[in-house]
């Protein structure tokens, strides 16, 4: 007998038929004598619909009320799955975040899990009752409803698994594992049997939305065995997918293991900025004060030592604010033009093996040049290279890089 957490994403609970299918996966585990906690997302498209409603109600709105609204999609699916399980003769009840309680910090829209009440939950599980938990939501210190950020149900699942000392946390989604890149845009992508925490963390933070970044962080810190698998596989059979593990045998380690892309970037360029000490601080200080996270930064070398250009990226959701913050510095800085572009994408090449290999970046630049794809900005770390390019070239760039590093599956 094991204690397991099963998480089902939006497409897996998109309608009642799919919820019945989910119930069959749960039934397989309970029939095997396991204690089961299930974490569910909202039905596919529902969270987007709720976010749009908030924006329509008022462009600038109270983040606490936003959370009250957008968290509600998960209430519906947790209740529906409990009803379906009961109809199948399986003892089950739904749990909303506040009932557990799932305590978080007060950062509405991107809250962090702080503590989870496990006594009652644990008792119920040991009595054989299935706990159907609404993902994505929590409760702040002021008893307001919070949400964990888009894609945050994965984090609920891993946090619950850690708190309940579960033997496994299975993340059921619409693909059967983690691939060398998004299998929806590269058909030759290969499923990876195992991915190390370190690489999964990079993949998730560089745009591979198959797992929420904080879910990977929690799995790493609390040593929770996580598997990514498909809810569309036969519910009668145990799941097969990708295991997220501490480390991978050096023998198995390829130089580059995956390509990720993130559309959520926006570019800001300042032309003709005086080339003088303190300029970078004058640009990035006010952005930091406005809590805007700056990602890539490029500063050109000025030809005559007088004026330079500075380019940087921010999340698309902060683009307008970032432009306004920089514009407000025009008087102090005295730059020429301020340009912005949201039609950009960040494509990244990831692999722990890059640490010990030279020429990995040059391969990417050559391949992109051969396709006439212009690079607007570059950032690198020991285990990744990211380039900012025109959004129109996303698929071409991802496919090209996937092929050039030998990631395509053999036909
Ligand atoms: P869920 O609703 O189940 O949480 P998501 O849409 O959040 O599902 O995540 C699954 C999606 O992640 C897949 O449909 C796939 O398009 C995308 N994806 C991006 N990169 C990868 C990758 N490297 N491996 C697998 N899926 C990926
Ligand atoms: N429903 C939430 C979202 O769409 C959380 C999730 O699906 O993980 O972002
Ligand atoms: Mg998701």
**Helix/strand/coil (H, E, C) string of 121-145?**
HHHHHHCCCEEEEECCEEECCCCCE
Tell me the C-alpha distance between 242 and 259, whole Å: 17
pLDDT of 29 higher than 80: yes
Which residue, by CA, sits nearest to atom 4 of ligand 1?
9
pLDDT of 251 higher than 70: no
Answer yes or no: is the C-beta of 10 below 6 A from any ligand 1 atom. Answer: yes
Per-residue pLDDT at 145: 98
Q: How far is the CA of 183 from the centre of ligand 1 (A)?
A: 8
* Residues belonging to the chain: 411
Tell me the C-alpha distance between 96 and 184, whole Å: 32
Q: What is the pLDDT of residues 98-152, one digit of tens each?
A: 999 999 999 999 999 999 999 999 999 999 999 999 999 999 999 999 999 999 9
Q: How far is the CA of 210 from the centre of ligand 3 (A)?
A: 6
CB 206 within 8 A of CB 346: yes
pLDDT of 305 higher than 80: no
Answer yes or no: is the C-beta of 153 below 6 A from any ligand 2 atom. Answer: yes
Answer yes or no: is the C-beta of 207 below 6 A from any ligand 2 atom. Answer: no
Answer yes or no: is the C-beta of 209 below 6 A from any ligand 2 atom. Answer: no
Nearest atom within ligand 1 for CA of residue 173: 3
Per-residue pLDDT at 304: 75
Which residue, by CA, sits nearest to atom 15 of ligand 1?
182
Tell me what percent of the residues of the chain surpass a pLDDT of 90.
Answer: 90
What is the average pLDDT across 67-95? 98
Answer yes or no: is the C-beta of 151 below 6 A from any ligand 2 atom. Answer: yes
Answer yes or no: is the C-beta of 8 below 6 A from any ligand 2 atom. Answer: no
Beta-bridged to residue 155, according to DSSP, are none
Nearest atom within ligand 2 for CA of residue 156: 8
Burial class from Cβ neighbours inside 10 Å (0-12, 13-18, 19+) for residue 301 reads exposed
Alpha carbon distances (Å) from 238 to 18, 200, 241, 252, 405: 18, 23, 10, 25, 33
- Please tell me if the domain spanning 3-247 has the same topology as the one spanning 249-411: no
pTM: 0.94
Nearest atom within ligand 1 for CA of residue 180: 23
Per-residue pLDDT at 250: 64
Assigned CATH for 249-411: 3.30.2130.10
Which ligand has the shortest distance to the CA of 42? 2
Per-residue pLDDT at 303: 74
What is the average pLDDT across 41-65? 96
Q: How far is the CA of 202 from the centre of ligand 1 (A)?
A: 15
Helices 72-87 and 46-57: crossing angle in degrees, nearest 10, is 150
Per-residue pLDDT at 270: 96
Q: Where are the domains of the chain?
A: 3-247, 249-411
- CATH number (1.10.3720.10, 3.30.70.3280, 3.40.1160.10, 1.10.287.610) of 3-247 reads 3.40.1160.10
Which ligand has the shortest distance to the CA of 51? 2
Which strands, in side-by-side order, build the sheet including 137-139? 113-116, 102-104, 137-139, 145-147
What is the average pLDDT across 403-408? 96
């Amino acid at each position: 007998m094991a204690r397991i957490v099963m998480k089902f994403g939006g497409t897996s609970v998109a309608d009642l038929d799919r919820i019945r299918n989910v119930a069959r996966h749960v039934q397989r585990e309970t029939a095997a004598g396991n204690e089961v906690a299930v974490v569910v997302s909202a039905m596919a498209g529902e969270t987007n619909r709720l976010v749009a409603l908030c924006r329509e109600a008022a462009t600038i709105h109270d983040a606490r009320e936003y959370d009250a609204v957008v968290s509600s999609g998960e209430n519906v699916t947790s209740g529906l799955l409990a009803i379906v399980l009961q109809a199948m003769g399986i003892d089950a009840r739904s749990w909303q975040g506040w009932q557990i309680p799932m305590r978080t910090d007060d950062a509405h829209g991107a809250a962090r899990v702080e503590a989870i009440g496990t006594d009652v939950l644990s008792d119920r599980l040991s009595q054989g009752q299935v706990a159907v938990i609404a993902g994505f939501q929590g409760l702040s210190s002021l008893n307001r409803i919070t949400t964990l950020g888009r894609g945050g149900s994965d984090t609920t699942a891993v946090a619950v698994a850690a708190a309940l000392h579960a033997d496994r946390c299975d993340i059921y989604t619409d693909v059967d594992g983690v691939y060398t890149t998004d299998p929806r845009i590269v058909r030759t992508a290969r499923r990876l049997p195992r991915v190390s925490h370190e690489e999964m963390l990079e993949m998730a933070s560089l745009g591979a939305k198959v797992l929420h970044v904080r879910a990977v962080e929690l799995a790493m810190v609390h040593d929770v065995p996580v598997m990514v698998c498909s809810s569309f596989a036969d519910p009668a059979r145990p799941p097969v997918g990708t295991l997220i593990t501490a480390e991978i045998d050096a023998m198995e380690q390829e130089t580059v293991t995956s390509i990720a892309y993130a559309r959520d970037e926006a570019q800001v360029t300042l032309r003709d900025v005086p080339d003088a000490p303190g300029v970078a601080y004058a640009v990035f200080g006010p952005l930091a004060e406005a809590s805007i996270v700056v990602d890539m930064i490029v500063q050109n070398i000025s030809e005559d030592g007088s004026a330079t250009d500075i380019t940087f990226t921010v999340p698309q959701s902060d683009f307008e604010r970032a432009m306004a913050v920089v514009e407000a510095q025009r008087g102090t800085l005295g730059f020429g033009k301020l340009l912005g572009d949201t039609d950009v994408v960040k494509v990244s090449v990831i692999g722990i093996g890059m640490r010990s290999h030279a020429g990995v970046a040059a391969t990417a630049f050559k391949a992109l040049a051969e396709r006439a794809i212009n690079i607007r900005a570059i950032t690198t770390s020991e285990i990744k290279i990211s380039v900012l390019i025109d959004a129109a070239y996303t698929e071409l760039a991802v496919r090209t890089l996937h092929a050039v590093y030998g990631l395509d599956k053999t036909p």
